[in-house]
Amino acid sequence: MDPLLLKVLNGVRTPETPVWFMRQAGRFLPEYREIRKQYAFDQVLNDPQLSKKVTLQPIQRFPKLDGAIIFSDILIVLNALGCNVSFEHGSPSIGRTLDQISLNDPVDYSHFDTVQAALKSTRLDLPSHVTLIGFAGAPWTLFAYACDGSNKNGWKKAKELLTQKPLEAEAWLSKISRVTRDLLLLQIASGAQVVQLFDSWAGDLSNDEYLSWALPYAEKTLKDLKVPRIYFPKMQEIPVQLQSFDCEALSISWESSLLLARSRFSTKILQGNLDPKVLLGDENELDKHVQAIMESMKNHGHIFNLGHGILPQTNPKAIQRILDMVKS
């Protein structure tokens, strides 16, 4: 029998709402911080057993969770392309930007070995009610990182490439989409039951830019994958064109209206969209926000989640409180 999260993503109406949290594996958990006292982020990222251990930590602490997202990073695709990404102190640093790399350079798929091994091992030890989630970054988001290294200048180089050298930008986005799709296929073959595509910088594009440079390549990446697909365009105003986007679920940012998304994307399962900052405040306020989301999504396919990742300073008790409310 399929676990709850898979049932909902496959369109089955259930009385219970599945729950998982973006960034649930990692920095807010005391047990993760204990691991980081012994190992650098790079070491955890590149060791399948450590990645597995971190992936399972929130499942062990919060048995009511319905999803386990593998511990990895969206930028491993850029390493496969030759960007030499490092994660000193946990923050990414791009060693070589796209202007220093040839489009014809071969892809080094060995950078995907760790996440494949971690998925295979994790799947064996995962409770039967928990769905294993793989993920990747969307092409525009990876392209932006690969051009600029960070968003401190508003992705200046990336946007210049889009406007000044559109054929080159198109070639890079196509290559990134192809390699990202390969990564997701490898994750699925290794045990991922669901995949999520993170378009973290979708909101930094205008509507027209998004429709030209982000959405088509995200669609190519996810097309015809044989597991349920969640797409997360982190943006305030989600274009109506996503109603026909080839995926089962849309994850909605905390900046967006879940009710508007429900009316605009009536055929999609919706995921989200609690503001992560609410978890840092008063318990009564947290309860109100959780209840409001649950009320707004009655009789519609819904996965409870945040509208972005768990903040590092979050008290684990807030996560347990949400789980108790949603599962009551």
Q: Tell me: the pLDDT tens digits for 110-128?
A: 999 999 999 999 999 999 9
Q: Active-site residue 2, yes or no?
A: no
- Tell me if 115 sits within 8 A of 25, measured CB to CB: no
C-alpha neighbours within 13 Å on the C-beta side of residue 302: 23
Q: What token pair was written down for 237?
A: 């105003």
Catalytic residue among 66, 73, 199, 204: 73
pLDDT of residue 89 exceeding 70, the answer is: no
CA-closest candidate to residue 176, choices 59, 76, 57, 245:
76
Active site residue 178: no
- Residue 60 structural domain: 4-326
Indicate the SS3 state at residue 97.
coil
Radius of gyration of the chain (CA): 19
Q: How far apart are the first and last CA of the chain?
A: 22
Residue with tokens 């994790």: 122
Its sign, for the CA torsion 286, 289, 295, 298, is negative
Mean pLDDT, all residues of the chain = 96
What does each C-alpha distance from 293 to 23, 68, 148, 287 come to in angstroms?
20, 22, 36, 10
Residue 311 CA to residue 26 CA, distance in Å, equals 10
The pLDDT-based confidence of 215 (bands split at 50, 70, 90) is very high
What residues form DSSP beta bridges with 194? 133
Both tokens of residue 298? 């009655």
- Phi (first) and psi of residue 160, to 5 degrees: -65, -40
Confidence of residue 152 (pLDDT cuts 50, 70, 90): confident
pLDDT at residue 245 tops 90: yes
The per-residue pLDDT for range 255-281, each reduced to its tens digit, is 999 999 999 999 999 999 999 999 999
- The 10s digit of each residue's pLDDT in 47-77 is 999 999 999 999 999 999 999 999 999 999 9
Total domain count for the chain? 1
Rounded Cα distance between 215 and 298, Å, is: 29
Residue 237 is inside which H or E element, if any?
none
What confidence score (pLDDT) does residue 243 get? Answer: 94
φ/ψ of residue 250, rounded to 5: -115, 130
Cα 251 from Cα 233, distance rounded (Å)? 7
- Alpha-carbon gap, residue 198 to 134, rounded angstroms: 11
Neighbouring C-beta atoms of residue 290, cutoff 10 Å: 20
CATH of the domain at 168: 3.20.20.210
| pLDDT beyond 70 at 302 | yes
- Strand segments, DSSP code E, in 99-173 are 131-137
pLDDT for 90 beyond 70: no
What integer pLDDT is reported at residue 105 of this predicted model? 96
Active site residue 36: yes
The pLDDT of residue 87 is 83
**pLDDT score, position 153:** 85
Q: How far apart are CA 44 and CA 108, in angstroms?
A: 20
Residue of 279, 269, 277 lying closest to 304 (CA atoms): 269
Q: Which of 23, 96, 178, 264 is catalytic?
A: 23
The least confident of 90-99, 168-177, 191-200, 223-232 is 90-99
pLDDT of residue 1: 81
Looking at residue 88, what is its pLDDT? 75
Is-contact 250 210, C-beta < 8 A?
no
Residues 289-301 have pLDDT tens digits of 999 999 999 999 9
Annotated catalytic residue: which of 145, 210, 217, 231?
A: 145
DSSP-assigned letter for residue 107: P
Q: Average of pLDDT values for 87-95?
A: 80
pTM for this structure? 0.97
Which residue among 36, 96, 123, 178 is the active-site one? 36
